[in-house]
Structure 1
């Protein structure tokens, strides 16, 4: 999300950064670029006008004029105003509610509510809460089946009555079942609907009245575009939403919906959903400062660290470091690290979090990298445990067997072994202090 906006803003700020001084004409030109970038990213016009006005007022003021590097000061102002526009980070609020606390998911059809319900259930369980899911979407074909399948997949209790009963009745009986099962949080998956459909919106109002949810979360597709404002405003007026969950944030280069919906409703963004897979990393807590960093190409180091801490165990990392320093790094270790890296996200997701890497993402063929990683996994998985620990025993016949088992050519097996040997060689040089990196002194011996 925000790739095109991020690239456009970075180009604008690069030009500002080359100026030793900054006058009002320079700021006007930069603000025109910022305005166009935001509009092209589908941020609504009133919000763009307000944002640019606030930035310009500060950018032509004393704080920029007196700055040692005026261009950088303008970037800082845009960053701060972007955080202000994105709003405070929203968190689930169950104060004044009794267990089981009810979360009601609403939104358009196709916004990803059912998938989000499962992701949210997984997230809540990770926090130590006992989730419970209710299938109250009786309109979309196979919606109930989808929720049941996902609930079973993640091991979360659920309630469903098929599609014959009224959604509001299903929600009430489901809530009773949740109380009997001692659930802590109930997630009601409602049918998708247009905010202008009076009959279906009345149905939502009835579900809310009878279940008294602590949270009413609007699940919105980040690729919605300019219509995002009307959708958010319509749902907010009818059912009083308490927060936003933006889905498919990894699939849209524009992403202006995030800025628009937050600004027009005044309710906080609480979660960002990525991908179709249901796992602990596919629903992120919303951090406005981190998102602003990503938009301005500053990376997101804090999220990167958190993902690394989740994927890599500290004791295992120390053990691996010892093996590397003693030159005992094996193909099994290599496979383990590859699989842990995959848990952190795709290569482009990781690179977006690294400061300065945003501009080269377009040059990366993610599908090709994914194919290569899968091929390496298949090759190593086709080896015996002994072969992974002692790759020197891999003769021609063993390589042929591995190639057949992994569906590749023998040359592909040789390529993996060559890469592994080069890695071992590099580790050996590192251990002996002979590894020379251009611009850096050699690393002293660590043995």
Structure 2
């Protein structure tokens, strides 16, 4: 996932400060050195790193942080604030034209995900603003570019204006804008051509389209996985076109984070959106403060809440709460919850947004195998409607039949049912106001069902996993004492 390497390095850099009642200047120097190395390794622009480290060091020294209370926490706070500032401080909204339509010009190099991002943006406008966007297919050079745009548009039911590959792109845009005006489309998204690298011919064409269309937004799509090259691309396009914003794609890949930390500082233009996934819904507004918290392993609860709100249904949520209170949560509800978590990006994505669980060493290797989820789903689908609604009827013979139907060992089915029962008990306790129930949940609960090998804790802080481990040890000691008494 994005930023994991940077997060680990930054956490290690500040580890020496933790637990110290006082931080010396030499401690601060060593920490700043490690932070500098961490940022450079993440492919952050050298000048940005130099300015960042100097600012953090000056603030720590100038405000007498070293002599104050909790100096380590104050330095982490300064690092967090400066990371946020480097990436732009506040989220940057999409500009809207006072007259219809608002014209958005998508630009970028080949392979950055420009066409897919255009589809995600149109989908976002449709779902959040009930907009009526129109695509203009102005890439007449790349093989099958128009076909790709039409396939993307079909997924989200958005019309495409195209005149084939033998017409000049500027003329296509001219006629496309006339079509949008006639059809009263409130947004026009122009999918322009890309190249493998910036060249004069490409820039002249884009400049001509800009002159004709007078777009409200010129969004540059860059591949976050290219690191410093993404910053160089942004600088090149900005110098020629004066872009209004950047969209970072493939942020869910093995990216080191350098582009996100450098682009705003180098170009002065904001990152407006980030793409993390292949689905049309996987485009999020870029929040510098939330990203800074994620980079420092502090989680991102606001984004998690927003994702939950997007996939939740008030009536279904109320029905689920009632079932929890009545202890009637069944396997149909369990499947529904799995679907909702999948829509939110999956269990791994959710855990990384929870403070304390994000990049927690105890969960570092808790990779969730999609096959485990598929096996669980197959197991539930092998049950009869009665068995799903009334798990208590699952006797040994029924379990053997379910295992055969799902093609899984009966031991795996038994383990899943046991974990389901544990989760039911925990949810019942929670619904009665006992939030400590989550802390008492031993490894193998909901997390175990998801293949992580570790249950989730109710406290969304750093002590979550440790508490579960301690509770497990306590339970083990109690069992040992009980066994001794019996003897």
TM-score, normalisation: structure 2: 0.84
Query: What's the counterpart of residue 340 of structure 1?
Result: 340
Query: What's the counterpart of residue 269 of structure 1?
Result: 271
Query: What's the counterpart of residue 301 of structure 2?
Result: 301
CA contact (8 A) 2:321 2:431 kept: no
Q: Are 1:18 and 2:19 an aligned pair?
A: yes
In structure 2, the CA distance between the partners of 1:404 and 1:118, relative to structure 1 (3 Å rule), is: farther
Shift in Å, 1:254: 0.7
In structure 2, the CA distance between the partners of 1:211 and 1:378, relative to structure 1 (3 Å rule), is: same
In structure 2, the CA distance between the partners of 1:80 and 1:422, relative to structure 1 (3 Å rule), is: closer
For residues 426 and 93 of structure 1, the distance between their equivalents in structure 2, rounded to whole angstroms, comes to: 46
Q: Counterpart of 1:109 in 2: which secondary structure?
A: coil
Question: Structure 1, residues 164-209: CA drift from partner, whole Å, max 9, x if none?
Answer: 2222222222222222222111111112225531011111111111
Of 172, 175, 178, 1:176 maps to 178
CA contact (8 A) 1:103 1:185 kept: yes
Shift in Å, 1:102: 0.6
- When structure 1 is superposed on structure 2, of 388-397 and 138-147 the one drifting more is 388-397
In structure 2, the CA distance between the partners of 1:174 and 1:419, relative to structure 1 (3 Å rule), is: same
Aligned 1:156-195 pairs, distance under 5 A: 156-194=158-196
- When structure 1 is superposed on structure 2, of 314-323 and 67-76 the one drifting more is 314-323
CA contact (8 A) 1:86 1:262 kept: yes
Q: Are 1:154 and 2:156 an aligned pair?
A: yes
For residues 9 and 271 of structure 2, the distance between their equivalents in structure 1, rounded to whole angstroms, comes to: 24
Question: Structure 1, residues 359-393: CA drift from partner, whole Å, max 9, x if none?
Answer: 33531223x2x211122122223433333112344
For residues 23 and 393 of structure 1, the distance between their equivalents in structure 2, rounded to whole angstroms, comes to: 65
- When structure 1 is superposed on structure 2, of 80-89 and 236-245 the one drifting more is 80-89
Query: What's the counterpart of residue 221 of structure 1?
Result: 223
Root-mean-square deviation (Å): 2.3
- When structure 1 is superposed on structure 2, of 419-428 and 46-55 the one drifting more is 419-428
Shift in Å, 1:20: 1.6
CA contact (8 A) 1:217 1:244 kept: yes
TM-score, normalisation: structure 1: 0.91
For residues 385 and 213 of structure 1, the distance between their equivalents in structure 2, rounded to whole angstroms, comes to: 55
For residues 212 and 241 of structure 1, the distance between their equivalents in structure 2, rounded to whole angstroms, comes to: 12
For residues 82 and 7 of structure 1, the distance between their equivalents in structure 2, rounded to whole angstroms, comes to: 15
Q: Are 1:315 and 2:315 an aligned pair?
A: yes
Shift in Å, 1:284: 0.5
Query: What's the counterpart of residue 423 of structure 1?
Result: 423
In structure 2, the CA distance between the partners of 1:430 and 1:159, relative to structure 1 (3 Å rule), is: closer
For residues 380 and 153 of structure 1, the distance between their equivalents in structure 2, rounded to whole angstroms, comes to: 30
Shift in Å, 1:58: 0.8
CA contact (8 A) 1:171 1:188 kept: yes
Question: Structure 1, residues 339-361: CA drift from partner, whole Å, max 9, x if none?
Answer: 11111112221111111221335
Query: What's the counterpart of residue 53 of structure 1?
Result: 54
For residues 401 and 207 of structure 1, the distance between their equivalents in structure 2, rounded to whole angstroms, comes to: 65
For residues 230 and 427 of structure 2, the distance between their equivalents in structure 1, rounded to whole angstroms, comes to: 52
- When structure 1 is superposed on structure 2, of 68-77 and 378-387 the one drifting more is 378-387
Question: Structure 1, residues 84-118: CA drift from partner, whole Å, max 9, x if none?
Answer: 110132111124x5211110011111000011011
- When structure 1 is superposed on structure 2, of 429-438 and 218-227 the one drifting more is 429-438
Query: What's the counterpart of residue 387 of structure 2?
Result: 387
In structure 2, the CA distance between the partners of 1:37 and 1:308, relative to structure 1 (3 Å rule), is: same
Aligned 1:209-288 pairs, distance under 5 A: 209-279=211-281, 282-288=282-288
Q: Counterpart of 2:218 in 1: which secondary structure?
A: strand
Query: What's the counterpart of residue 130 of structure 1?
Result: 132
Query: What's the counterpart of residue 121 of structure 2?
Result: 120
Question: Structure 1, residues 49-102: CA drift from partner, whole Å, max 9, x if none?
Answer: 11111111111123413420111111111111111110132111124x521111
Q: Counterpart of 1:293 in 2: which secondary structure?
A: helix
For residues 56 and 319 of structure 1, the distance between their equivalents in structure 2, rounded to whole angstroms, comes to: 53
For residues 82 and 204 of structure 2, the distance between their equivalents in structure 1, rounded to whole angstroms, comes to: 37
